[in-house]
Amino acid sequence: MIIECGGKGNMPLFARICNACGIPYVLVHDRDAERGERPIESERIVNEQIVEIAGSDRTVVLTPDFEAVSGMDGRGRGRKPHKAYRWYTGNGNADVPGPLREAVEKILRATPS
């Protein structure tokens, strides 16, 4: 199941709930800064909280963001899971970028057989 958390700031709560209930999960979020650049403080704090709660084995960070990694149009925010589904199924874009492939691989490893 893919859950839209309503923004990266809500991910620590979702991770805590999953941890408390023993639900396997992987969090995918934007770094919100180019490689080599430091995210603004509020983004850095949330990024650190996510890794602290979920752990690096359950976290995939997209640099700088989902739109840039996927090659999608960056206009408009939100509904990223829905946009990704439409992008990769409706436009003939069969080549999934490495960071998104990493997310799927982590999800498969986290899911009990």
* Signed CA dihedral, 112, 97, 44, 79: sign only: negative
pLDDT confidence band for 92 (50 / 70 / 90): low
Which pLDDT score, from 0 to 100, does residue 109 have? 86
Rounded CA gap, 21 and 87, in Å? 32
H-assigned helices in the chain: 11-21, 41-54, 66-70, 80-90, 98-110
Domain boundaries, the chain: 8-110
pTM above 0.85, yes or no: no
13-64 residue pLDDT tens: 999 999 999 999 999 999 999 999 999 999 999 999 999 999 999 999 999 9
Mean pLDDT of the chain: 86
